[in-house]
Amino acid sequence: MARAALGLGGVHALVLLAVASVALLPLVISDDGYGHCEGVVRGWADSSTGRDKDGDKLSLKDLLFFLHIPRTGGRTYFHCFLKKLYTNAQECPRSYDKLRFDPSHPDCKLVVSHDDYSLTSKLPRERTSVVTILRNPVDRVFSTYEFSVEVAARFLVHKNLTSAKLMSTRLLTKSRAVSTLDIWPWKYLVPWMRQDLFARRDARGGDKVPSSKKVNAYDVEDMVMPLHQYINDPVAHEIIHNGATFQITGLTNNSYFDGAHEVRHCVRQHPDLGRIVLEVAKNRLDQMLYVGLTEDHEESARLFAHMVGAQVLSQSGTLNLDLKEDLHTENDSHPSMVEPEDEETNEHLNSTHGWQTNEALNSTSDEQGKGNSQSNRRKISLKKVEEANFSKEARKLVPEAILKEIISFNSLDMELYDHAKKIFTQEHLMLKAQQSGVGQDRLLAEQKGWTEIICSNGICSPWMVVMLGLGITAIIALVSFAVTTRRRTSKLKV
């Protein structure tokens, strides 16, 4: 009986042990998962830190890499500055086209690309300077959403999605052109939005059915994917949120680093590991030749001209080049549309190799000839979903809860943007100090020129010094005599 009780007790103990093991199993697995991810992220960070501190970061090297974060105004810098500083032959061919980009071109001195920092693995790192521009993350998310809709809506001229895809494939196969659909991140975001637009059009039964559920331009649910749905979709979490941080660290889904996906996955699964990635991103910004801000475009342009443009001119031996700081100075009535990315890419390729105008992907046949102005293209693109009338005023109607979500999803980018603002302030102070130093050097040069009149080879003759002293004394005496005489004359007149 005792043995039976003991046996029963042993069974109960085994059962309890088994239950406890099962209960603790998720914790062990979870801990192991975190430990693995921490090792992956820290291993990547250790291999990435310290490689970018070679030489003087303020000195322009042989190759300039403009790391163009989408929707930050990079097109303006390319046309207002870089196209004036570099010849067509010096632009690296097809730098926006990852599959056909060739950095080995002998005259390659300028790379302008949406590719992330990992592209530097294909460049001569010790001879490459990197510059970039950052934008307020909330505005960048808005702009990315708006541009995705704008480009995708151009395909609504077709009767169905299959027809739109076939036309795109046919034209791109025949042409050497690089379209928006070939370029990161639009090669993912535009097809995703295009498919959604066609599905909503089919559901409402055609183009002419007006929206009955319109709350604001960012919530026209039966026409366009609402903004709140867009930012919560897995695609947005993979590509858009914290996009600047991942692009500057070389961890996008377009990376040349094979382990980028695993690092990115670990950061999303364990958000606290994002701090490690953020520190690498900050370090990268610290080592860049120039960091600009979209919101402060005038000062950014001035700094770019002095910190980058002046060095390019100096190295090329060009003494006089009209570098107009002609960024848009008027208030941006539509801040989301700082630059039309597809136009930017096509115009860039037009000055490199193999570009052809591909209006079939960018507008409809009955719309050609109406001008390529940004506002006209936007109106044409959105006329099929005209109630999605994006504007600065429309943004004010977006609920506060959605704005808070965007900030939460982009916490790394928010901190990185704050860091960029500090760097920008340092750049401004540094330029001011340099300009002050130039003024002092000029004054010293003038003084040196005067002393060289009386001194030869740094040796001043005693007689020359004496004569100079007598001359100065005589001038002072004459001035004093003239002043005294004038005062006496004035008193006599009174």
Which residues are catalytic, by number? 125, 146
Q: Is 60 left (phi over 0), alpha (psi -120 to 50) or beta?
A: beta
How far, in Å, are 123, 447, 448 from residue 437 at the CA level?
A: 35, 15, 16
The closest alpha carbon to 103, from 65, 157, 139, belongs to: 65
Q: Which residues have C-beta within 8 Å of that of residue 56, sequence separation ≥ 6?
A: none
CA 162 to centroid of chain Cα atoms: 34
| Strand 459-460, strand 455-456: pairing | antiparallel
Query: Are 303 and 428 spatial neighbours (Cβ–Cβ below 8 Å)?
Result: yes
Q: Which amino acid is at 333?
A: S
Query: Are 274 and 242 spatial neighbours (Cβ–Cβ below 8 Å)?
Result: yes
Cα first-last separation, the chain: 140
The closest alpha carbon to 292, from 119, 73, 117, belongs to: 73
Q: Which amino acid is at 6?
A: L
Q: Which amino acid is at 102?
A: D
CA distance 341 to 151: 10
Q: Which amino acid is at 158?
A: H
Question: DSSP state, 107?
Answer: T
Query: Are 420 and 428 spatial neighbours (Cβ–Cβ below 8 Å)?
Result: no
Q: Which amino acid is at 37?
A: C
Query: Are 120 and 51 spatial neighbours (Cβ–Cβ below 8 Å)?
Result: no
Query: Are 291 and 131 spatial neighbours (Cβ–Cβ below 8 Å)?
Result: yes
| Strand 459-460, strand 63-67: pairing | unpaired
